Homo-oligomer: A and B are copies of this chain.
């Protein structure tokens, strides 16, 4: 009986050791990916260059881009090359106390990501989408809506399905 208990304990320890180094556990520590597209919030995006600020009905936004995207903007060359990545940060809009008509960012509402991979995302204009709320990807229904909206407006479609223009 004692030997069996020890064997079970030993097997348990081995399983625990295996689990702590298994690919599954490593994957669990990685940032979560969006449904449908498998897009993640890119590392270090806060240091990316501002493409433009923008405003929604109740939000303030900042759209940032990586080097590949910014080069395409500056050169005025569309479509965006593979590897171009855009991040849109959104905050609730709050009035600035004492200044009529001025608004500043309040609570962060979401982070949205577009990644260009013309082969992988051929069905959606070459773009993969990710919408993250509190660091967690939104559901599949929301991700189905991304390209539908980015492709319905003729002007946006003309700019390789990207809303934001370089503000300089």
Q: Is A81 an interface residue (CB 8 A)?
A: no
Q: Find out whether the CB atom of B56 lies under 8 angstroms from the CB atom of A101.
A: yes
Interface residue count for A (Cβ, 8 Å)? 35
Q: Please name all residues of chain B whose beta carbon is closer than 8 Å to the beta carbon of A104 when the two chains form the complex.
A: 52, 54-55, 163-165, 167
Cβ of A62 and Cβ of B91 under 8 Å apart?
no
Query: In the complex, what's the smallest C-beta–C-beta distance from A83 to chain B, in angstroms?
Result: 18
Asked, given contacts A49-B46, A98-B153, whether A60 binds B64 with beta carbons under 8 Å apart, the answer is no
**B residues near A46, Cβ cutoff 8 Å:** 49-50, 168
**How long is the Cα–Cα vector from A165 to B53 in the complex, in angstroms?**
16
State the oligomeric state as a number of copies: 2
Q: How far is the CB of A71 from chain B (nearest CB, A)?
A: 13
Residue from the list B60, B167, B168 in contact with A54, Cβ < 8 A: B60
Cα–Cα distance between A46 and B74 once the two chains are bound (Å):
12
Cβ-closest chain B residue relative to A61: B53
Q: A47 within 8 Å of B by Cβ? A: yes
* 18 sampled A-B residue pairs with Cβ under 8 A: A50-B62, A52-B91, A52-B104, A52-B105, A53-B53, A53-B54, A53-B60, A53-B62, A54-B102, A54-B105, A56-B101, A56-B102, A57-B100, A60-B167, A62-B62, A97-B153, A105-B167, A108-B167
Given contacts A53-B54, A53-B91, 16 further A-B contacts (CB under 8 A): A50-B62, A52-B60, A52-B105, A53-B61, A53-B62, A54-B96, A54-B102, A55-B93, A55-B103, A57-B101, A58-B101, A89-B167, A91-B167, A97-B153, A104-B164, A104-B165
